[in-house]
């Protein structure tokens, strides 16, 4: 395999960074490891506002943790009110752009006013701390307003991604037993309307007796039916709202939100996150990982329906007093340079996006980013899945112009905040590696028996010690929480990811455990194979899966999309097989390579490899496809003749 270069932080970046030099990182990490109560207690007291201070920092009764026990705080207050007595009062909190080009800028003072008004609306509808709300909206500023208004009153919210079907929405409403659904008439995506209110009506048409109210924001102007006594227009309720709704002092362990993760079978898991511990760790990682400065314009190009949007579009940036960009629509619509044009338009300094999006931009060609300066950028981030070294290099060279550090972040819905990532002013970068764990995070890589595997050996990634932003349980299902996360390696959190650590202590995430194949006794990660394929000059993107094989146990099947060019496809297939053999070894050579125009992805940018596994094993798809961006991609792949 090609040798991975190392990129040390530039002296100029180091001189201005929150954490300076590798020694600075190591000292911070050692203190968090050796004195966790003192470390987190000092940060909580310094970084957050508390109505009442906690009695002790944490309780750990495996597998259940409590942080800042007895403390009273409020996430909405920390994101808004405390900034109003500072120079941030008139600073831009949210810069929003709609897909059609509409623009809005909300200062912290204006956002506070809107949140207080909507919290007043919810109060007038009889909602209070302990109640639950479903938020099913497009990417408009009001989605953040709704989240913060719920947090202000102690209403536990669950944001449901606007791409989910009515059936997926129904299961979440039923499991949460929500009293209110907050939605839009519709949203815009690639120039087409996503009819959200219609999906809500379909979802609630079944057995959802808990829902008393549906509040509808007018976004697209579509004519939607409104059920008397249940459905209310946001703007009509807002007429009687008051602007000084106080934030409710809440226990540090109060459930801030429940976010559902779906699998191949069974009902979605409701991941429950707390208030105080969650906000503290999200805030600190905003500073440590993104090296946030007061003057930065920060853009996390994700959707609020995913945990990335919760932690790094809304709660983390606003708690830090940052300016956060919210964009509605697809990042390559109507032209492939929409993202780059938007960076120049708003002078974005920090961009946080997914490897899948990066690879899609590579496929469009370098001419699109070349149209734009992007001189404002000083830091780039990657989230969602392991990033291939070649995609990392392109991101660094073409988008960052060789001057912007890349923070490759590993974390999960369940972890709440970033767990493994570089501190850009302290840690030398290796393309494709998440580098080192955050302070207070104690990961290990172990074998089936839970024994550490040592350098450059693949194993299971686990976490030994509780951390403030960790999930507290699965919503009303403690047994599922224990079974899914704590039964595989007793006493440790089982991430479900495979990883290895190199001789320098750098962590390399290899993907989900079920994305690690065993071919003739060789353990191969999908990331390693995909990275080899995309290093080939013809390949834009690759997804690798295994299928059962009577001789080797598993056989490698690769789905490949090509860059624009005049390729001899038949010759290229064999060339790519030999390329992988040269890059990794003959044992890794794909049995089959399928050239395709597209790969099945969620709208958050993740490749849905489990659907590809279904195609290569059964030629059909039976798993959950509610998060799929384009159903036509999977239909086309399933219809292709298998030449096996």
74-84 tens-digit pLDDT: 999 999 999 99
Q: Is 310 exposed, middle or buried (0-12, 13-18, 19+ CB in 10 A)?
A: buried
Contacts of 638 (CB under 8 A, 6+ apart): 615, 619, 620, 621
Does residue 375 have a pLDDT over 70?
yes
- The confidence band for 386, taking pLDDT boundaries of 50, 70 and 90, is confident
The answer as to whether 580 is a domain residue is yes
Instruction: Please tell me the total count of domains within the chain.
Output: 2
The answer as to whether 247 is a domain residue is yes
The answer as to whether 110 is a domain residue is yes
Least confident of 149-163, 189-203, 321-335, 585-599: 585-599
The answer as to whether 138 is a domain residue is yes
Does residue 630 have a pLDDT over 60?
yes
> Which of 271, 288, 304 corresponds to the end of one domain?
271
Higher pLDDT, 70 or 329: 70
Task: Convert the pLDDT of each residue in 461-517 to its tens digit.
Answer: 999 999 999 999 999 999 999 999 999 998 899 999 989 999 999 999 987 786 667
> Which of 224, 243, 271 corresponds to the end of one domain?
271
| Distance (Å, whole) CA 588 – CA 594 | 16
Q: Which residues pair with 435 in a beta bridge?
A: 507
| Distance (Å, whole) CA 411 – CA 409 | 7
Kindly state the average pLDDT of the residues 287-316: 96
Q: What is the DSSP letter of 531?
A: H
What is the per-residue pLDDT for 606?
Answer: 74
Does residue 565 have a pLDDT over 80?
yes
Residue 151, Cβ neighbours under 10 Å: how many? 30
CATH of the domain at 111: 3.40.50.12780
Mean pLDDT computed over every residue of the chain: 91
Q: Are strands 323-327 and 297-300 parallel, antiparallel or unpaired?
A: parallel
What is the per-residue pLDDT for 516?
Answer: 67
The answer as to whether 560 is a domain residue is yes
The answer as to whether 5 is a domain residue is no
**Is the bond into 63 cis (omega within 30 degrees of 0)?**
yes
What is the per-residue pLDDT for 266?
Answer: 54
What is the per-residue pLDDT for 531?
Answer: 83
Q: Is 295 exposed, middle or buried (0-12, 13-18, 19+ CB in 10 A)?
A: exposed
Token pair belonging to 629:
């961006």
Task: Convert the pLDDT of each residue in 93-121 to its tens digit.
Answer: 999 999 999 999 999 999 999 999 999 99
CATH of the domain at 552: 3.30.300.30
Residues, the chain, total?
644
Task: Convert the pLDDT of each residue in 154-188 to its tens digit.
Answer: 999 999 988 877 888 898 999 999 999 999 999 99
Contact 264, 475 (CB under 8 A): no
Q: Which domain holds residue 560?
A: 520-639
Task: Convert the pLDDT of each residue in 5-35 to its tens digit.
Answer: 899 998 889 989 989 999 999 999 999 999 9
> Which of 250, 271, 292 corresponds to the end of one domain?
271
Contact 152, 77 (CB under 8 A): yes
Does residue 221 have a pLDDT over 60?
yes
pLDDT cut 90: percent of the chain above it: 72
- The confidence band for 521, taking pLDDT boundaries of 50, 70 and 90, is low
What is the per-residue pLDDT for 265?
Answer: 41
End-to-end CA distance of the chain: 28
The answer as to whether 621 is a domain residue is yes
The answer as to whether 598 is a domain residue is yes
Does residue 522 have a pLDDT over 80?
no
């Amino acid at each position: 395999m090609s040798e991975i270069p190392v990129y040390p932080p530039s002296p100029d970046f180091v001189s201005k960074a929150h954490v300076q030099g590798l020694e600075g990182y190591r000292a911070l990490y050692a203190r968090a490891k050796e004195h966790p109560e003192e470390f987190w207690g000092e940060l909580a007291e310094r970084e957050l506002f508390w109505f009442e201070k906690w009695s002790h920092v944490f309780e750990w009764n495996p597998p259940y943790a409590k942080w800042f026990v007895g403390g009273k705080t409020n996430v909405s207050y920390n994101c808004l009110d405390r900034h109003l007595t500072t120079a941030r009062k008139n600073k831009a909190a949210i810069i929003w752009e709609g897909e059609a080009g509409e623009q809005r800028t909300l200062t912290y003072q204006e956002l506070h006013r809107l949140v207080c008004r909507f919290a007043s609306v919810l109060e007038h509808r009889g909602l209070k701390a302990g109640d639950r709300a479903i938020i099913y909206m497009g990417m408009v500023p009001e989605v953040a307003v709704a989240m913060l208004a719920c947090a202000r009153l102690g209403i536990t919210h669950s944001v449901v991604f606007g791409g989910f079907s009515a059936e997926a929405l129904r299961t979440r409403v039923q499991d949460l037993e929500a009293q209110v659904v907050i939605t839009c008439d519709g949203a815009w995506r690639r120039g087409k309307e996503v009819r959200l209110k219609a999906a809500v009506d379909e979802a609630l048409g079944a057995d959802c007796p808990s829902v008393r109210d549906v509040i509808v924001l007018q976004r697209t102007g579509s004519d939607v039916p409104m059920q008397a006594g249940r459905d209310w227009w946001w703007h009509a309720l807002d007429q009687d709202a008051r602007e000084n709704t106080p934030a409710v002092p809440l226990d540090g362990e109060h459930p801030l939100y429940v976010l559902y993760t779906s699998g191949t079978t069974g009902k979605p898991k409701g991941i429950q996150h707390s208030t105080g511990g969650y906000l503290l760790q999200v805030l600190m990682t905003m500073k440590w990982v993104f090296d946030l400065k007061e003057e930065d314009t920060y853009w996390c190009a994700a959707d609020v329906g995913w945990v990335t949007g919760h932690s790094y579009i809304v709660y983390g940036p606003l708690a830090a007093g940052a300016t956060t960009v919210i964009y509605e629509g697809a990042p390559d619509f109507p032209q492939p340079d929409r993202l780059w044009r938007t960076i120049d338009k708003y002078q974005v300094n920090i961009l946080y996006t997914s490897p899948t999006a990066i690879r899609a931009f590579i496929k469009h060609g370098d001419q699109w980013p070349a149209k734009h300066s992007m001189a404002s950028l000083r830091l780039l981030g990657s989230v969602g899945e392991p990033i291939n070294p070649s995609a990392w290099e392109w991101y660094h060279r073409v988008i960052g112009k060789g001057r912007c550090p890349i923070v490759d972040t590993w974390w999960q819905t369940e972890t709440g905040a970033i767990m493994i990532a570089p501190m850009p002013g302290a840690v030398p970068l290796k393309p494709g590696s998440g580098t080192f764990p955050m302070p207070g995070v104690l990961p290990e890589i172990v074998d089936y028996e839970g024994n550490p595997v040592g350098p450059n050996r693949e194993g299971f990634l686990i976490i030994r010690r509780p951390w403030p932003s960790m999930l507290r349980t699965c919503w009303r299902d403690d047994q599922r929480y224990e079974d899914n996360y704590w039964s595989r390696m007793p006493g440790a959190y089982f991430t479900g990811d495979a990883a290895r650590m190199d001789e320098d202590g750098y962590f390399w995430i290899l993907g989900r455990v079920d994305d690690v194949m065993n071919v003739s006794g060789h353990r191969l990660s999908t990331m390693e194979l995909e990275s080899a394929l995309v290093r080939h000059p013809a390949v834009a993107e690759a997804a690798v899966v295994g299928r059962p094989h009577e001789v080797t146990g598993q056989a490698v099947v690769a789905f490949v999309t090509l860059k624009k060019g005049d390729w001899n496809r038949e010759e290229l297939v064999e060339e790519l097989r030999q390329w992988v053999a040269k890059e990794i070894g003959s044992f890794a050579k794909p049995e089959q390579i399928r050239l395709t125009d597209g790969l099945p992805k969620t709208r958050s940018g993740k490749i849905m490899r489990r659907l590809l596994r279904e195609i290569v094993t059964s030629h059909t798809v039976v798993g959950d496809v509610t998060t799929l961006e384009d159903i036509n991609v999977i239909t086309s792949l399933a219809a292709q003749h298998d030449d096996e």
